[in-house]
Structure 1
Amino acid sequence: MSETLPASPANEVLRLEQVRKAFNIGTPLETEVLHGIDLRLNRGELAALIGPSGSGKSTLLNLIGLLDTPSSGELYVLGQATRDSDDEARTHLRNQAIGFVFQFHHLISAFSVLENVLMPLMIRHGKPSHADIDLARGLLDEVGLAQFADKKPTQISGGQQQRVAIARALVTRPPLLLADEPTGNLDTRTAQSVFELFHRINAQFGCAILVVTHDPRLAADCGRTIQLVDGHIVSDAANPPSR
Structure 2
Amino acid sequence: MADTREVLRLEGLRKSYNIGKPNEVEVLHGIDLRLDSADFAALVGPSGSGKSTLLNLIGLLDSPTAGELYLRGEATRAMDDEARTAQRGRHIGFVFQFHHLIGAFTALDNVLMPWMVAHGKPGPETVDMARCLLADVGLEKFADRHPDQLSGGQQQRVAIARALVTRPALLLADEPTGNLDTKTAAEVFTLLRRFNAQYGCAVLVVTHDPRLSETCDRTVTLVDGQVVSDERRAAAGRAADPP
2:155 paired with 1:161: yes
CA shift for structure 1 position 4: 4.5
Name the structure 2 match of 1:241. 238
Q: Which position in structure 1 is the counterpart of 2:12?
A: 18
The correspondence of residues 1-243 of structure 1 with structure 2, limited to 5 A, is 4-6=2-4, 11-239=5-233, 240-243=237-240
Show CA shifts across 1:199-238 (max 9, x none). 1111111100001011111111111010101101111011
Are the equivalent residues in 2 in contact too, given 1:4–1:45 (CA < 8 A)?
A: no
* 1:62-94 superposed Cα distances (whole Å, 9 cap, x missing partner): 000001111111110000001111111111111
The amino acid across from 1:139 in the alignment is L
Q: Deviations over 1:172-218 (max 9, x none)?
A: 00010101111111111111111111111111111000010111111
Offset of residue 136 of structure 1 = 0.2
Q: Distance in 1 between matches of 2:97 and 2:165?
A: 19
Residues 99 and 155 in structure 2, CA contact (< 8 A), matched pair in contact too: yes
Gaps of 5+ in 1: none
Q: How many residues align?
A: 237
Counterpart CA distance in 2 for 1:172 and 1:89 is 17
RMSD: 1.1
Contact 2:90 2:118 (8 Å CA) reproduced: no
Distance 1:117 1:211 in 2: 20
Contact 2:93 2:163 in 1 (8 A): yes
Runs of 4+ with >6 A deviation: none
Unaligned ranges ≥5, structure 2 = none
TM-score (norm 2): 0.95
One-letter amino acid of the counterpart of residue 76, structure 2 = T
1:82-137: CA deviations, max 9, x gaps?
A: 11111111111111110111111110111110111011122233332110110000
Q: Shift in Å at residue 45 of structure 1?
A: 0.9
